[in-house]
Amino acid sequence: MEKGQQLEYPQQEERRTHIYVVSGHVEVTCQDGDFQLGPGDAARIQKSCTLKIRATGNEDTSELVLADLP
């Protein structure tokens, strides 16, 4: 993701989303609040919501892995 870029990911019922930040910094927003993640950080979202993921920090790009699991 480029700096400042935002993605929306609609999470389905009965699904789990895992996010792992490889490099850079991202902000993850869901109904539980806003969470700042950096390199090596991970998050697991279990509630159904539309996730907003935004690249933050001073890096030109941020890399993350998003896994959508049953």
User: What pLDDT sits at residue 48?
Assistant: 84
| pLDDT higher at 12 or 17 | 17
List, as own/partner pairs, every contact residues 13-17 make where C-beta atoms lie below 8 angstroms and the sequence separation is at least 24, other chains included. 13/48, 14/70, 15/48, 15/68, 15/69, 15/70, 16/44, 16/45, 16/46, 16/68, 16/69, 16/70, 17/44, 17/45, 17/51, 17/66, 17/67, 17/68, 17/69
- pLDDT tops 90 at residue 29: yes
Percentage of residues in the chain with pLDDT exceeding 70?
Answer: 100
Name, in order, each residue with C-beta under 8 angstroms of 34's C-beta and a sequence gap of 6 or more. 27, 28
Is 0.85 topped by the overall pTM? yes
